[in-house]
């Protein structure tokens, strides 16, 4: 995954962290944070401690039961993929193609209807 040539920046709709556009396989976008992460796993506070489960069982048996059952059944820590809020710096689409607005891909503007159409660059040669 590489950062985008457009320098797209935004904030995640879910957690509010600053994210930037990055290219992903298949000429698609991903949103990554400053650590280069697009998928965030949300563990309970203090889970890094070697005595986390023991302490939880001693102080909050209901939460211990809920978490241990969730982890055992494969419903462990919650997570989310960063989703950009309003994105600044996106150039306006050059025109419609095959009757539909073009889609902004990491390689340039792509036709939404046909993959055989030419990819238009982000900026014209005159710019």
pLDDT tens profile 23-78: 777 777 888 999 988 888 888 888 878 899 899 999 999 999 988 898 888 777 77
Q: What is the pLDDT of residue 123?
A: 60
Which residue, among 118, 124, 119, 106, has the nearest Cα to 1 in the 3D structure? 106
Q: Is residue 86 part of a domain?
A: no
Q: Of residues 39 and 126, which shows the higher confidence score?
A: 39
What predicted TM-score, i.e. pTM, was given to this entire model?
0.57
Q: What is the mean pLDDT of residues 79-93?
A: 78
Q: Domain tally for the chain? A: 2
Q: Which two tokens stand for residue 12?
A: 């995640």
Q: Do 4 and 69 form a contact (C-beta atoms < 8 A)? A: no
Q: Cα torsion at 62, 63, 67, 73 (round to 10°)?
A: 20
Domain that holds residue 52: 2-81
Domain co-membership, 74 together with 19: yes
Compute how many other C-beta atoms are within 10 angstroms of the C-beta atom of residue 56: 21
Domain co-membership, 54 together with 11: yes
Domain co-membership, 77 together with 95: no
Domain co-membership, 12 together with 33: yes
Domain co-membership, 36 together with 72: yes
Q: What is the pLDDT of residue 125?
A: 40
Q: What is the pLDDT of residue 5?
A: 58
Mean pLDDT across the chain: 81
């Amino acid at each position: 995954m590489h950062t985008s040539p457009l320098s797209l920046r935004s904030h995640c709709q879910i957690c509010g962290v600053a994210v930037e556009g990055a290219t992903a396989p298949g000429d698609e976008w991903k949103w990554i944070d400053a650590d280069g992460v697009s998928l965030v796993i949300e563990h309970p506070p203090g889970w890094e401690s070697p005595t986390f489960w023991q302490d939880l069982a001693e102080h909050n048996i209901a939460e211990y039961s809920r978490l241990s059952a969730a982890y055992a059944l494969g419903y462990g820590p919650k997570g989310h993929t960063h989703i950009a809020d309003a994105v600044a710096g996106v150039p306006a689409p050059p025109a419609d193609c095959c009757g539909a607005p073009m889609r902004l891909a990491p390689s340039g503007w792509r036709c939404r209807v046909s993959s055989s159409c030419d990819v238009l660059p982000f900026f014209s040669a005159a710019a």
